[in-house]
Amino acid sequence: MTEATQPRPRPKLPVQQLAILVVARLAEPLAYTSIYPYLPEMMRDFGIPQDEVAKWAGLTTAIFAVSQGLAALPWGRASDRYGRKPILLCGLVSTMVCFLVWGVSTSLPMAMAARAVQGAGNGNVAIIRTIVAEIVPEKELRPRAFSIMPLVWSLGAVLGPAFGGFLAQPARKYPDLFGNVEFFKRFPYALPNLVATVFFLISAATAFLFLKESLPVKRDERDWGLELGSRLTRAIRRKPPRVRPGLASADGEAATPDPSPKKPAPPGTSPKMREALTRQTVINLVTYTILSLHSLAFDQNITVFLNYPVMKHTPENTRYPFYFNGGFGLKSNKIGSIFAIYGITCGVIQFVLYPPLVKRFGILRCWQVCSVTIPFVYILTPYTSLFPTEGTRLAAVIIVLMIKGLVTIVAFPCITILLTNSCESTYVLGTVNGLGTSFSGFARAIGPASTGLAFSWGAKHGYIVSAYFFLALASAAGAVPGFFIRDGDGPAMSADTGPGDVAVARHPLRNGSSDGVLSNASAIADVSDDDVDAAAPLLGRTRKQGTTYNATDAQQR
């Protein structure tokens, strides 16, 4: 069989770069969810009355989301201009510093200021989503690639609440170890944030040393972090790498490119808004925004519900099905344990159930089923407090949380893929994902704030169901635009695509490489020489007539 007739090998995931993104991503959900178990107690330590805790906990979450929403689009457009990697690193460092300030906050204004700056300084949700889309352009690989980051969130959701619940107030909980440490007496919520700082340092160092730039126009620029990482790797191995620059490694990941300076890429430019906002993109953005609103609001408010005191139901304070009150009366360590179970469930669902579900029913159908299921989960939640014993109440709420985990852990990667597939070019990915983060940021502000207000009102007037019925209505409204979504073909890949340009190629040429490098000649065997030449800016290095050449050099010649 000649080279020209050899079948094209199946594309592979860029495993190494995705693993680096996993490490870079892990610190944020871990730190973010670590505050959930102790947030109600922290609010009370600030002098907030019990029936106002839900409101101020929601507003504390809301101010983070508002500032994140305001800053997300500028961060996304900055990544389109300056590259994904530097913006990602800025977000990690900023978030780390703000979590330290949050941990030593002694008043509500100080805590809210720390959360506001933290939200404004981090646009990494959109940045990481854009990087995944750029390093995995093959549509058939995207469900698996996009399911990885929610799996990371699930892992963070296991570890975060666990150490947040167990490490908060260490001087009181563990007097033998920390009872004489004055620092932890003065700052009872500092320890979990100090632990989170270690994860942020690991994430930032890993991204700086080993993450490759995915923005096409910035890929050929010199990366001092990659150079240092390459030297450290060689020093540890004490032998030269076996893979030559420009050729793929065994797992389909491209080897680190030659770090020597190359011809500078043209300066990045930001796309115009009208190029990014197609009809399908707008529908996906609306749907994603509403999903963010009710999902985060539930996760934040459920801790207040679990911490709210148990009420004895009498004919005077109870009239079913809507007029009743009371929660679970749990402390932060038990809430942390419940969230750990919740996170483990989400991780199992993501790893075991999500891929076959998507393969069997498709991205769009899975999303539509999830969107019509979630309102019923919210409606059932407040009724779990009516079971007669603590054991039955806990069992009921854990079952509800597992169902909620199943629905949202499938829904989020599905809508993320649908949003990515609605883009016509990678040129607008950063902007679209920045818009998605901005809109979802505002939704994540409105959701917890309004749900907290509804919960506080319901707690005062005997309608504990009010917050969860509000979430059910919001999720039902979010299901409607989802039935107007169409699954697109995904963005075109091009290094040189600019405003108004047509993308050079739509990603069948790429073979699992994270930096646009083909692993072997058979990957382009069924493509004409003209097509290969046209795709040269995308490929970086390719093979032609049995020789390896650099596409930029070929253009110069």
Residue ranges of domains in the chain, CATH in brackets: 15-211+270-482 (1.20.1250.20), 493-556 (no CATH)
Q: How far is CA 312 from the centre of its chain?
A: 40
Q: Select the more confidently predicted residue: 213 or 36.
A: 213
End-to-end CA separation in angstroms for the chain: 33
Q: Which helix (H) or strand (E) holds 541?
A: strand 541-544
Read off the pTM.
Answer: 0.64
Question: Do 95 and 481 touch, CB atoms closer than 8 A?
Answer: no
Please say whether the dihedral angle defined by the alpha carbons of residues 409, 286, 299 and 328, taken in this order, is positive or negative.
Answer: negative
Check whether 333 has a pLDDT greater than 70. yes
Residue type, 138: E
Q: Select the more confidently predicted residue: 504 or 166.
A: 166
Q: How confident is the model at residue 238 (pLDDT cuts 50, 70, 90)?
A: low
pLDDT of residue 255: 32
Distances (CA, A) of 130 to 82, 88, 136, 240, 546: 14, 11, 10, 32, 34
Question: Do 317 and 143 touch, CB atoms closer than 8 A?
Answer: no
pLDDT of residue 154: 67
Give percent of the chain above pLDDT 90.
27
Check whether 436 has a pLDDT greater than 90. no
Phi and psi at 18, nearest 5°, equal: -65, -35
Q: Over range 245-264, report the average pLDDT.
A: 35
**Nearest alpha carbon to residue 433 among 421, 443, 444:** 421
Q: Over range 67-73, report the average pLDDT.
A: 81
Residue type, 106: T
Q: Please enumerate in sequence order all residues whose Cβ is within 8 A of that of 524, keeping only pairs 6 or more positions apart, or say none.
A: 8, 509, 518, 531, 532, 542, 543
Check whether 271 has a pLDDT greater than 90. no
pLDDT of residue 30: 81
> What is the distance between the alpha carbons of residues 287 and 230, in angstroms, rounded to a whole number?
42
> What is the distance between the alpha carbons of residues 320 and 313, in angstroms, rounded to a whole number?
11
> What is the distance between the alpha carbons of residues 95 and 114, in angstroms, rounded to a whole number?
10
- Tokens 């996993």, located at residue: 22
Q: Over range 337-355, report the average pLDDT.
A: 79
> What is the distance between the alpha carbons of residues 302 and 37, in angstroms, rounded to a whole number?
10
Q: Select the more confidently predicted residue: 264 or 453.
A: 453
Question: Do 274 and 287 touch, CB atoms closer than 8 A?
Answer: no
Check whether 474 has a pLDDT greater than 60. yes
**Nearest alpha carbon to residue 421 among 489, 326, 468:** 489
> What is the distance between the alpha carbons of residues 478 and 6, in angstroms, rounded to a whole number?
48
Check whether 263 has a pLDDT greater than 70. no
Q: Over range 369-375, report the average pLDDT.
A: 94
**Nearest alpha carbon to residue 475 among 397, 370, 383, 384:** 370
Check whether 556 has a pLDDT greater than 60. no
Question: Do 330 and 37 touch, CB atoms closer than 8 A?
Answer: no
Q: Please enumerate in sequence order all residues whose Cβ is within 8 A of that of 480, keeping only pairs 6 or more positions apart, or say none.
A: none
Supply the mean pLDDT for the chain: 77
pLDDT of residue 339: 81
Q: Over range 396-418, report the average pLDDT.
A: 89
Tokens of residue 305, six digits: 């519900």
Lowest-pLDDT range, 74-78, 403-407, 518-522?
518-522
Q: How confident is the model at residue 209 (pLDDT cuts 50, 70, 90)?
A: very high
Check whether 356 has a pLDDT greater than 70. yes
**Nearest alpha carbon to residue 496 among 254, 214, 268:** 268
pLDDT of residue 272: 61
